[in-house]
Structure 1
């Protein structure tokens, strides 16, 4: 055993390990953007292949692909930040008394249905919760503004990572494959196929479905007369990504608000529209992802909910994909062991 270790732990290997660890320390602050760029490049490559049939220069086709996929995502985040910032500025920071007045008016409408002995405690709890939510939003907006320089750097690294992974991804794959021993080359190829299958399942079955549901929701909420219809559609698409949730939290919240304000017809209409969104998911998702691997909902649920805690906002996209890749690698290794047992 000691002799085998000496054969593998040679000065070149030690030097390579040292440099790899040092390189990891250097890129650690932006590792999430590099990984996200690598995964997004997988999504962009099919678009780039189609553009390359009409555009001679690969750099131009890749740039157009990034404009079609990555830039809209960035603009979406900027739009959401602007809407939230504008709402906070208009309703909480500029006129806190008006916000308190609106809360009291809403509570007065609900007070007729609440037993008198609970009114004071519920009113106090609502006021405290409202103030805490307002402070949290204000602090979040201030923190976001202070982090604009670092966010700009991360976005720049993300765009560059997507570009170079899309252009040189095949070279990187062949470079890594050269280090794979001959006796494990089949496992490596099968693992790569499994990872591609899982990523396609997540992209088509979840992200694309959420995009479609979000667009339909934005159009529907705008036609129903709700302010911030596009913003509500984006929130619906985000909730659609998360297993168990779906679009129902948004349309139920709108229906409850309409009911409180006496707009019973509006409440009924938004519920009917929301039920239509939920039912459409049952048809859209299987139609888009039935040809690819099925991912257990718990894996994606954990990824979507805990991702922002690990990597911030990018973790919402990155962590479900990383967990899906981990599942694909483990499943490929399980099949490899199973085949070895059957042949032995």
Structure 2
């Protein structure tokens, strides 16, 4: 009876307690059970989500500016021994001067071009229809004529319907519009104060967070926070600096060839470049349309400007500013953007890559730590065990021979 009991306990220990596969399944089950419990009590976390979404916009805006300004503040403090407060105040004055210049010079020019584009859009659309119909009269396009006409009618109906729905929604949700205006106002009002203290005390954040980690993990935890900060900072600075210079190149090129609404389209291209990979082609669509209805020569000039910009961006600006610090394969980036846009829309496209970089660093470091402490991945112990086994076998052979 005692032997059966011991045998049952051994089977239970071997197949349940000491079985890695069973333990892994239990951990996965517990993980999803915790997610289910949080979903069931989501009403408890509702105030926390409301608070988070209220404070997130100024924090995001301040964080973007922080990653642009902090290298300058660190350089003046470490190399030139200038106090951080002095450098921060000078940078704030410089940004204020740039904003005043933009309000007085650049914004009125862009606004006038956008207003002109909106007023002339019916004529532009009519010209597109005329060009399309001229092409369809060609005998080579007879096979797709009916399908293309149906597609154009569909686009017109959908565009009209979407504009009508948008107008109705805007009229029926004036309170929402007022709420959005309030969020924008509060973001612009509070972001400078958040930015000031981030620039002043941000370099202390790593040490502050590290002290809460267990003592044996503090070095690795501090190194992980440093890597996360470097990855996110490189991405933010790279995207914004590249977008700025691309906007400058397009503005110069479009104005040199005399493209209508060139400055507004260049600013649009700079903003669209914040959407990786796809932003460039999205920004090119209205440029090609306006160039095509202007003249075929203008279309060729636009394509020449695009080729020059892409050459400068890919050969000089991006390698110098961004480099390969994100260590992401282009296929991984494209698939990530497609998946993130399907799940979270535009915010997923914009924030998908830095979030992926943060998760990748955490998972990689956690896995490396697991390899160090786990017997399953301890190659040195395995090698020593195999060597000891070989020595014992050889010793046994010698004894048998004797």
Is the TM-score greater than 0.5? Answer: yes
CA distance in 2, matches of 1:248, 1:27: 34
Q: 1:174 is matched with which residue?
A: 207
Using the size of structure 1 for normalisation, the TM-score is 0.71
> For residues 329 and 183 of structure 1, do their structure 2 counterparts lie closer, same or farther at Cα, with a shift above 3 Å needed?
same
The alignment status of 1:45 with 2:45, answered yes or no, reads no
Greater RCO (CA < 8 Å, at least 6 residues apart): 1
Alignment of 1:146-295 (within 5 A): 146=178, 147-245=180-278, 247-251=280-284, 253-261=286-294, 263-284=295-316, 285-290=318-323, 292-295=325-328
* Residues 259 and 298, structure 2, Cα contact 8 Å, conserved in 1: no
Larger radius of gyration: 2
Specify every segment of 5 or more residues in structure 2 that has no aligned partner in the other structure, as ranges.
1-44, 137-141, 382-402
Does residue 30 (structure 1) correspond to residue 55 (structure 2)? The answer is yes
Going from structure 1 to structure 2, the CA distance change for 1:225 and 1:128 (only over 3 Å counts) comes to same
Farther-moved stretch of structure 1 (24-33 vs 222-231)? 24-33
| TM-score, scaled relative to structure 2 | 0.62
2:135 partner SS:
coil
* 1:59 corresponds to 2:59: no
Count the aligned residue pairs.
319
Relative to structure 1, the CA distance from residue 157 to residue 300 in structure 2 (aligned partners, 3 Å threshold; closer, same or farther) is farther
1:211 Cα deviation from its structure 2 partner = 2.2
User: Could you tell me how far 1:213 is from its partner in structure 2?
Assistant: 1.7
Q: Which 10-residue stretch deviates more, 134-143 or 156-165?
A: 134-143
Determine if the alignment matches structure 1 residue 324 to structure 2 residue 357: yes
Per-residue CA deviation, residues 235-268 of structure 1 (Å, 9 max, x unaligned), is 222333433335344345433443344x121111
Partner in structure 2 of residue 13 of structure 1: none
Aligned residues: CA RMSD: 4.5
Provide structure 1 residue ranges, at least 5 long, that are not aligned to the other structure: 1-19
